[in-house]
Each structure stands twice: as structure tokens, then as C-alpha cells.
Structure 1
Amino acid sequence: MNLLLTVLAFVAALGPLILFHELGHYTVARLCGVKVLRFSIGMGKVVWSRRLGKDQTEWVLSALPLGGYVKMLDRRESPELALAPADEGREFTQKSVWQRIAIVAAGPLANFLLAIVLLSVIFMVGVAEPATRIRAMAENTPAWQAGLRGGDQIVSVNGHPVRVWSELRFQLVQAALEKGGARIEIERPGSGHYSYAFDSSQLATADLESDISAKLGLAIARPPAVLTKVLPDGAAARAGLREGDLIDSIDGVHMIDGLAFVETIRANPERDLTVIGIRQGSPFAVTVRPERDPKDNVGRIRTEVSLMPEMLTLPQGPFTALGHAAGKTWDTSVLTVKTIGKMLTGEVSWRNVTGPITIADYAGQSARIGLVPFLSFIAFVSISLGVMNLLPIPVLDGGLLLYYSLEVLTGRPLPERLIDLAQRAGLGLLVALMVLAVFNDVVRLL
């Protein structure tokens, strides 16, 4: 069932992205007076087609759902083709260089526009996200050494306000890429406002391969270890634990929150544990022996504790949401370009290149969480698709834009032989990147 949901989520995410990208090309081509012969979602063998409209444009679904294309009337593809007089002025190469630039750029721009629309809707609705209050951390972590403590609320990174955890992580990644360290502003309950710093060595870009906040020792704060339920006939009930008990320590180790309590119980099956806590204002101590769960080989005592962190929902007005969405799209695009640049210089591992398997996995995960996370996933993939298509690689939109930019500068088109050689090299590079992406995907699965 999970596999089916993953496949359906992948198709539901990728389909609209391809559709909007190609509609961008199609719409601007028509506005520029270019005749469109075929509009295809997917590549390879045609599995369904219909001819519609005055030009009898062929609308197609093709077998391989990893792309699409808009085929325009182009004399270069069929030099021997005799054009009807009415079509002479509708051939792609007859259009001005600026019109050709607009047609090619419209695909990636459509992806950015789709992302802005989706993010605007999400920001207007408001999404419940974990706040930036941090969990107590170990003394050997960069966060502790910088001066941060459990319970601190992070309010900004390098002057950029952060209210929820996703904003905090984004700013930390930005700081890591820029290699300039990070100035953290915090509010400490009952104490005031403080400023601390991570230096550039602590924000090494190697951390981008995993969760950079976790590498620094930052984790989301959780509620105290208060038992919200004690199930009958379990190890906890037999030991004398009750609902409402606050667990202070287990075997002398302080339980910083409910998550620490759960992790300690799970890690100690069939072992006597001394539990010290507070019950109605008075201390108590019991010995509990977690039962071994045969399914996953971890300890269970049949209790429940709250693990829900402090959550914030921040709905915005339409214009504020639109501005926030445009800014987020820009920031994410810049971050993607910086990351690609770091890969080229060897500062970020090529293991970060992901392919269709990883995208499908993330699509399935976000769809299982809910509609808003799924739409957010689509928005960020749309941004990535827009950026990738603008890279100056022949066969991609960015490669064509490079040709036309050189034509603007020199006043004449590039030689067809040079373009053909570049296209072959670009196709080889694209195939190599796809092989690398699939290889990384398989390695992650294994």
C-alpha cells in the first residue's frame, strides 16, 4: 500500500510540474505567433494523442513520464520541408532573438510562478510548525560550547528573523554555504535576550549532507516526561507508576523530556531500571523492568507521554503571503545555485545529487503527512526544476538561452555545426548526471 501511495504521489507531483513547464513554452510561443505542432507530457513512445484547435496541434501522453516537450514549427528539423505561405512567418527561427529567448525562458519561469502560487496559498492558510525553542544538548556539542542552553528560543540567525524550525534550518544552511559563521539571537526564559555565534569551522559545508541543525546539537524542545496514560497489566502499572507522574531520572540520568524517557525505556529491554520522579509534589522511586517487544526488540512498559513540541501557526494576508512566497522562491533558487557551485568546486559532496527514486520517496512521505506538506513539496521541487532547466547545459533551456545571448552579443546566430556538437556534449553530460543521481538513490536505499 505504501508503494502504491508513493507511486501515485510521485505522478501527482511530477505531472503538474511538467505540465506547467511545457504550458509556459506553449503559451509564449503562441503569443509570439509560432505554430505549435505537438505538446507532449512524457517522452518516448506515444500512448495517447488528440489533435485540437485551428492548427491541429497534437496533444500527447508519452510512455516515459520524466519530462515533456513542445514541438514547434522549425525549419532546422526538416530543411526540405516546404512551408505553406501562411506558415512562413510562424516558423520558430524566423522570430526575433528576443522572442526566442522569451519562449525558451517561459518554461522555467512557469515553474517559479507555480511555486509562488502554491507557497502563497500555504502561507495564507498557515501551517502548524515546530517553534524554535531548543532541547537541552550535550556539553560536547557546538551549540553548548557556543553558549546555547535547553529552553532557549532562537529568534534570528545573522539578522534574519526565524519563528519556526524550517526557517531556522534554512538560515543555517545559508550561513554554512557562505562560510561566514552564524550569529544566533535567543530569548532565554526569565533571563532576557542574548547573542551567541557559531564559527565557520562549526558550519562546515560537509554538514549539508545531513541535518545541519542536528550536527550543531540543536533539536526541537519537547514537553517534560509526564505520564499521560499508564495502561493496565503493563510493566509500568506493575511497578506502581501512575498517570500524572513526572519522571525526573532513570538510573541516575536526568530525563530532559518525554523523548529522552521513551528512548531510555526502548534501549533497556528486560533490565531493572530505577525510576525517580515527582507525584503530586512529592518525590518517589520505583523499579521498573521493561518487557522486550518481539517485533522490534526494544523495551516497552505500556505508558504514554506527550512528545508534541510547541507549535506555531502563522496565517498571513494575501499580499504578505505573496511577498513571502516570492522571497522564499528567490532564496531557495539562490541556495540551489550556491549548492551546485559548491559541488563544482568540491566543497559539497556529489552525493547530494538526487534522482527520481528519492523524489518519489519524498513525495510519498509528504503525501502521508497531509495535503499542505505535499503541496509544499511540489512547490520546492518546482523551484528546483526551474533552476536546473536554467543551467547553461546544451539540450536544457539554459543552454538555448546561452546560444541566444551570444547571438545578441555577436549580432549573428551560432554556427549550426557548433550547436550540434554542443548538443551532443550536453546530452552526454545530462545522461551522466542522471546515472549519478540514480546511483545515489540506490545507495541511499541500501
Structure 2
Amino acid sequence: MNLLHTLLAFAVALGTLIVVHELGHYWMARLCGVKVLRFSVGMGRVIFSRRFGPDQTEWALSVLPLGGYVQMLDAREQDVSRLSSTDLRREFTGQSVWRRIAIVAAGPLANFVLAILLLAGLYMHGVPDPLPKLRQVAEQSVAYQAGLRGGELITAVNGHPVQNWTELRGQLLPLVLDKSTARLDTSRVNSGSGGGNILDTYSLSLASLTVEDLETDFLGKLGLVLARPPATLGKIAPGPAERAGLQSGDLILDIDGRRIVDGLALLELVRASPGKKLQIHGLRDEREFSSDLVPDTVVENGVEIGRIKVELPMAPEMTTISDAPIPALSKAVQKTWNTSFLTVKMLGKMLVGQVSWKNITGPITIADYAGQTARIGVVSYLSFIAFISISLGVMNLLPIPVLDGGHLLYYSLEILTGRPVSERFSNIAQRAGMGLLLMLMLVAAFNDIVRLAFS
């Protein structure tokens, strides 16, 4: 059932992105007066088609689902010798170079527009996300050396406001690539008699991280870990916790003299103590209590762990921010630009060997993410489609022959030289581009298989 769900989510996402991309080409071609002969979702042999519209355009579904195309009236592909002068004026190669550029660029542009609209809609609806509040900071970490100790709420990075954990990660990501220093503005509750908030600024060096760290939890490697709720016990099932006299609502303060900062710390300590006697100290109805607790020993994935059969709150403190239409649109445009710029930067670092080619993903990984986000909910799924749409727009603008970016490169050369590139040069470049594209597809497929085998 999960496989079917994943395939369906992948098909909907991919189909949407292909249709939007090709509609960009189609609408711009029509706007420029170029006749469109076929609009195909998929490549290869046509398995279903219908003709309609003023030009009787063939709307088709083809056998290979990974792609699509818009076939225009083109003297390089069709015999135009018998066409009327009216139809000849609607032939693609006879258009000005600026119109051809507009038609080719409209596909990637449509992907960017789709991403902006989806993100703007999500920002208006409100996206639940954890507050950028820090858990206790580990000693010897970069964050600890910067002065952070835990409990701080990060409010800005280098003067740019952050409202949730995703925004914090997004602000730090490009700074990691530049190995620069991040200035973190923070706020924390003053536990002293004066109350109020304490405002501080910390300088966090990112020079210790490598680009490969971006493939993992790079925030955790810096010592920035999401705060979790206190270790307050929830529902207690028959087992070690019940035998120790623990009750729902108990707040665990320390175990064997070791401070328990949150529910995650309690879980980690219990899992690491199978069959070991633990001295519990906590609060119950604002009164201190102590108890002895011996976790059961269970085997999980071949490893012995401790378990006490009690529910623990693990969900971080969340925030949902809903923006008005204009701020949401502005935020979506900025997010699309930043993501596009970061994608190009990562590709550039791949070319010079600073970033591993393991970061290239193919349809298997994309399908997996489509299924995962769809199971989480509509908000996550639409966010996934938006970011894949951005990636598709960027990839299609790369100056590789057979992609839109390759054609834009040809037309740029035509503007510079005053004449179109030769057919011989175009054919050689097309073959080279196809070879490069095939190589990238093989790398992506290999990475997908490796991830699947070792996940």
C-alpha cells in the first residue's frame, strides 16, 4: 500500500511540474504567434491524443512519463514548402531571436512562478514549524564556545529575522558554504527576580564545517539542537515505571545525580541503562520525591536497550505564522530566489570538486520524498512540489544542449555574432549535451540505488 501511495504521489507531483513547464512554452508560443502542433506529456510513442483549439493542436499522452514537450511549426523538422504565407509567418525559426528566447525561457519561468504561488499560498495559510529555541548546548561544540548554553530563542541571523527552525537552517546554509561567521541575536526568559527577557548576540564561526556536513544534521554538529519539552511523564503502562511508583504528571529532575534537561535526555539515559538500577529524583504536585527504577532489557536491531513503558512528550514548541497576501508573496519570491541561488552555488561547487556528487538525486529518491511528504500532510507535500519545481527550473536553465538553457546559449551567441549557430555546431553540441545528460542520469540512478540499499 505504501508503494502505491508513493507512486501516486510521485506521479501527481511529476505530472504537475511537467504540465506547468510545457504550458509555459505553449502559452508564450501562442502569445508570440507561433503555431503549436503538439503538446505532449511524456516522451516517445503517443498512446492517447485529442485535437482541439483554433490550430487543432494535438494534446497527447506519451509512453515515457519522465518529461514532455511542445512541438511547434519548425522548418528544421517539417516540410514548410507548401505552407501559406500566413502559416509561414507562424513558423518558429522565422521569429526574432528575442521571441525565440521568450518562448524557450517561459518553461523554466513557469516552474518558478508555480513555486512562488505555492509558497505564497502556504505562507498565507500558515506552516507549523518548531520555534528556533535551543536545547542544552553540548560542551566543546562550536555553539558552546560562542557562549550559547541552551534555552536561547534565536530571533535573527546577521540581522535577518528568523521565526522558526526552518528559517534558521535556511539562513545558516549559505553561510556554511562561504565558511563565514553568523551573528545570532537571541532572547531568553530571565529566571531571576527581575523577570523579563535577556537579549544577547553571539558570533558563531562556521569555518569548522565542510560542505559534506550539509548532507547531515549540520546544525547539530554546530551544537544547535532543537529544544524539547521537560521530562514530564505521560500515560504509564504496566512495567518498570509503574513498579517504581512513578505517576503520570511526574517531572523528572535528575537521575543518579545527573540533570535531566528534557524528555529526550530521559529517553536516551533509559535506553542506555538496560537492567541497571537508577535513582530517580523529581517533582510531584510541587513536592520533591525519590524512587528506584530498573528499566527492562529488550533487544532492538540486535542491541540491548532499556525500556520503562511510559509516554514522554517529545514534540518541540511549535509556531504557526500566517502572512497577509503581499508579505506572503514577497516572502515566496525571496525564498525562490535564495533556493535557486543556493542550488546554482552547490552545482558550481560540485564542478570544482568541493561538493560530493552523491548530492545528485534521481527519480527513485524524489519518488520516496514525494511519498513521505504526502503521508505527512498536504502542507508538506505542496512544499515538496514547490522546491522540486524550483530545482526543475534551475536545471533546465543550465547551458547544456538539449535543455532549455542550451538553446538560450545558442540564441545568446546569435545576438553576439549577428547570425545563428551553424547546423554542424548545433548537431555536435546536441550529441555532447545528450552524453552529459545521460552521464548525470546514470550518476543520479547510482546514488538512488546506493541510498535505497543502505537506508
2:281 aligned to which of 276, 285, 289: 276
Unaligned runs of 5+ in 2: 191-196
Amino acid at match of 2:226: I
Does 1:212 find its partner at 2:218? Answer: yes
Contact 1:276-1:283 at 8 Å conserved across structures:
yes
Structure-2 separation of matches of 1:378 and 1:157: 27
Amino acid at match of 2:37: L
1:221 aligned to which of 210, 224, 227: 227
Which residue of the partner structure matches residue 246 of structure 2?
A: 241
Contact 2:236-2:248 at 8 Å conserved across structures:
yes
Contact 2:298-2:305 at 8 Å conserved across structures:
yes
Amino acid at match of 2:219: S
**SS in structure 2 of the partner of residue 406 of structure 1:** helix
Which residue of the partner structure matches residue 253 of structure 1?
A: 258
Does 1:441 find its partner at 2:440? Answer: no
**SS in structure 1 of the partner of residue 89 of structure 2:** helix
Amino acid at match of 2:210: A
Contact 1:355-1:434 at 8 Å conserved across structures:
yes
1:430 aligned to which of 420, 425, 437: 437
Contact 1:73-1:91 at 8 Å conserved across structures:
yes
TM-score by length of 2: 0.94
Amino acid at match of 1:228: G
Does 1:128 find its partner at 2:128? Answer: yes
Which residue of the partner structure matches residue 388 of structure 1?
A: 395
Deviation (angstroms), 1:56: 2.0
Relative to structure 1, the CA distance from residue 306 to residue 389 in structure 2 (aligned partners, 3 Å threshold; closer, same or farther) is same
**SS in structure 1 of the partner of residue 234 of structure 2:** strand
Which residue of the partner structure matches residue 293 of structure 2?
A: 288
Aligned-pair RMSD on alpha carbons?
1.7
Contact 2:229-2:262 at 8 Å conserved across structures:
yes
Unaligned runs of 5+ in 1: none
Which residue of the partner structure matches residue 166 of structure 1?
A: 166
Which residue of the partner structure matches residue 103 of structure 1?
A: 103
Structure-1 separation of matches of 2:71 and 2:427: 18
Contact 1:225-1:306 at 8 Å conserved across structures:
yes
Matches within 5 A, 1:254-403: 254-293=259-298, 298-403=305-410
Relative to structure 1, the CA distance from residue 2 to residue 298 in structure 2 (aligned partners, 3 Å threshold; closer, same or farther) is farther
Deviation (angstroms), 1:348: 1.5
Contact 1:209-1:349 at 8 Å conserved across structures:
no
Which residue of the partner structure matches residue 73 of structure 1?
A: 73
Structure-2 separation of matches of 1:88 and 1:333: 38
Describe the superposition over 1:42-92 as per-residue Cα deviations: whole angstroms up to 9, x where unpaired: 112322211222322111112222111111111112357643443211111
Deviation (angstroms), 1:305: 1.8
Contact 2:236-2:309 at 8 Å conserved across structures:
yes
Contact 1:172-1:212 at 8 Å conserved across structures:
no
Which residue of the partner structure matches residue 200 of structure 2?
A: 194
**SS in structure 2 of the partner of residue 129 of structure 1:** strand
Which residue of the partner structure matches residue 7 of structure 1?
A: 7
Deviation (angstroms), 1:252: 3.5
Which residue of the partner structure matches residue 140 of structure 1?
A: 140
**SS in structure 1 of the partner of residue 311 of structure 2:** strand
Structure-1 separation of matches of 2:312 and 2:300: 21
Over the matched positions of the two proteins, sequence identity in percent amounts to: 59
Contact 1:208-1:348 at 8 Å conserved across structures:
no
Structure-2 separation of matches of 1:219 and 1:30: 52
Moved more, 243-252 or 26-35: 243-252
Contact 1:249-1:275 at 8 Å conserved across structures:
yes
Structure-2 separation of matches of 1:439 and 1:81: 47
Deviation (angstroms), 1:294: 5.7
Structure-2 separation of matches of 1:278 and 1:116: 49
Count of aligned pairs between the two proteins: 445
Contact 1:343-1:350 at 8 Å conserved across structures:
yes
Structure-1 separation of matches of 2:3 and 2:81: 48
**SS in structure 1 of the partner of residue 214 of structure 2:** helix
Structure-2 separation of matches of 1:362 and 1:250: 39
Relative to structure 1, the CA distance from residue 200 to residue 257 in structure 2 (aligned partners, 3 Å threshold; closer, same or farther) is closer
Contact 2:134-2:153 at 8 Å conserved across structures:
yes
TM-score by length of 1: 0.96
Amino acid at match of 1:34: V
Deviation (angstroms), 1:308: 1.8
Structure-2 separation of matches of 1:398 and 1:280: 67
Contact 2:80-2:88 at 8 Å conserved across structures:
no
Relative to structure 1, the CA distance from residue 421 to residue 278 in structure 2 (aligned partners, 3 Å threshold; closer, same or farther) is same
Deviation (angstroms), 1:221: 0.5
Deviation (angstroms), 1:281: 2.9
